[in-house]
Each structure stands twice: as C-alpha cells, then as structure tokens.
Amino acid sequence: MNYTQKWYDKPISKLILISISLTWMFPYIGFLLSSFREPDAIKQAAWWTSIFSGQIFTEFTFENYTEILFAEDLSRSFFNSFAVVIPSTIIPITIAAFAAYAFAFIDFKGKDLAFLFVIAMMIVPLQMSLIPLVSIMNKGAILFGLPIIPELKITGTFVSVWFAHTGFGLPLATFLLRDFMMGLPRSVIESAKIDGASHLTTFYRLALPLSFAGVAAFATFQFLWVYNDFLVANVFLGINPRNQVITSHVAQLTVGNYGEAWHLRTAGAVVSMVVPLIVFFSLQRFFIRGLIGGAVKG
C-alpha cells in the first residue's frame, strides 16, 4: 500500500492533540457541570470531588437556568444585542469591501502608505481609545480653535456603538478583504477591463461575488466579537437598562450582591454562549476557508 502517513495521523500525535483539546475544554466542562449544581453545593465542594463522590446527581438542578432565562426584560436585551450586532457587522464590511477593491486593483499615488496606515490602526488597542472616542462623540473635537468634529452628543445611543464597532472593525476587515481580492485571478479582472467594464461594474459583478468566502469569514468574526463584546457596548450605550445588551444583562444577573453567585455565573456563561456557537458552527466552513484563503494567496 502506497500510503504515506501524515504527521497528524500518527497515534502519538493524535494522543497529544486529544490531550491538548481536553486541557482546553477542562474549564468549560467545569462550568457546564457547575451550572447544573445547587448554589451551596458549588461553594462547598469542587465539581470534580462531587463527580467522584457521586453527589453530582443529588445536587442536580435546573434552578440556575430558570432564574436567568425567565429574568425580566431578557428578550429586550436580546433584541438590543441584535440591534447592535447587525449594523455593526454590515457597515464595516460595506466600507471595507470598497476600500479593499481599491487597494487591490486600482493604482494610485501613496497606495502603499495608505495601506500601511490601515494596518497600523490594527495595533492601536481598543481599550486605550475608548474614552477619547466617547468624549469626542459627546463633546466633539477642537484643534487650534477649529471644530474638526462637531458636538454630536450621540453617546448613549445605538448609533454611537455602530460607529465605534465600525471603527474598531475596519482595519482588520480591509486587510482581510484586500488580501482575499489580491488572490483572485488577475486575468479575470483584466479581461473585464478590456471588455470596457468600469471599476464599479468590476467590483459588483466580479470582485465582490468572488470574494464571498472572505466576506463571510469576516462577517462571522465581526458578528461573534460584537455579540460577545461587553466593554464597548457598556461604555457607549450608557447604563440605562433600556439600552442593555445581552452580555451586560447576563453579567448583571449573575453577580448576586457582590459577585458571590457562582451558580448563576456559570449558567449565565452557558446561556450567553448559545448564539455565538450557533453562528460559528453554521458559518465555520466560510470562516476557515476565508482566513486561510487570504493568508496563503496574499
């Protein structure tokens, strides 16, 4: 049999890979189990001791979940989350796709410098720019007596979160899509040009449909990140519970008084994981293809 064994087919590699996965999953198994245990039981014994002593069956409960799932206004928070996530995914993709096309197929002066600038933006830590950004959105910005950015006073609204997420997502989106478009067969684009297609036609008819996998990959990524985001939403939406997104609502539900409610925390973590898991598993095909496509061909 002329079968060459790949390195990852060897039993020893498999063993290592499986043990890495198990180690990685260990905390997740822990909180999944703990989320079904009674509050006092969690505080008294660790979940592994309760497995070995068989106590896990007697202390099994759905209480933690009912307390969270039937919380007041949870549906409103879900709705708010989607009101944040959907525009925050679509807007950066739209802008980035145009930018990526320009970076990939149009020659203009200072292109490399402009692209370098976009890449450089990826290095700026989000946490550092949060407060300046929020204060600009509120008070505007004045440079040498000239108002460069008007007093928008939009903090505490959904628009401000869309802006923020668009800003934070754009550099990566532009980078990924540009790399993906660079990988498209150049001859196809050139023949379109010879046939007299304008840039806009080329973009809509060729570049965009062909880079669907790249767009889907970034959409998945952005969706997951925005949905899971707690910090940006909290800072820009303010503390009014009407604006609350699901992550901050779950965080709030699971605190107890001062953070002692472990039983709710574990159940809350599981609840908040449901949507990202659905999104990831239904789109992971694109996700992996898109990321690798950009990386290898770029």
Q: Which of 131, 200, 278, 295 binds other proteins (CB under 8 A)?
A: 131
Contact positions with other proteins (CB under 8 A) in 43-82: 43-44, 71
Residue 119 dihedral angles phi and psi, to the nearest 5°: -65, -40
Q: 172-211 mask for other proteins (x: CB under 8 A)?
A: ----------------------------------------
**Are 254 and 265 contacting, i.e. CB atoms less than 8 angstroms apart?**
yes
DSSP character string of 138-200: HH-EEETTEEEE-----TTSHHHHHHHHHHHHHHHHHHHHHHHHHTS-HHHHHHHHHTT--HH
Binding of other proteins at residue 84 (CB under 8 A)? no
Binding of other proteins at residue 258 (CB under 8 A)? yes
Q: Which of 126, 235, 269, 279 binds other proteins (CB under 8 A)?
A: 235
Binding of other proteins at residue 127 (CB under 8 A)? no
Binding of other proteins at residue 259 (CB under 8 A)? yes
User: What do you get for the CA distance between the two ends of the chain, in Å?
Assistant: 37
Other Cβ atoms closer than 10 A to 45: 17
**Are 105 and 207 contacting, i.e. CB atoms less than 8 angstroms apart?**
yes
Q: Which of 13, 15, 25, 40 binds other proteins (CB under 8 A)?
A: 40
Q: Which of 42, 97, 104, 137 binds other proteins (CB under 8 A)?
A: 137
Q: Which of 172, 164, 206, 204 is nearest to 189 (CA)?
A: 206
Q: Which of 55, 61, 129, 138 binds other proteins (CB under 8 A)?
A: 138
Number of residues engaging other proteins in binding (CB under 8 A): 32
Binding of other proteins at residue 39 (CB under 8 A)? yes
Please give the structure tokens belonging to residue 200.
């806009």
Please give the structure tokens belonging to residue 68.
């969270």
The identity of residue 150, as a single letter, is P
Q: By the criterion CB under 8 A, which residues form the site for other proteins? A: 39-40, 43-44, 71, 130-131, 134-135, 137-139, 153, 155-156, 234-236, 238-241, 251-253, 255-261
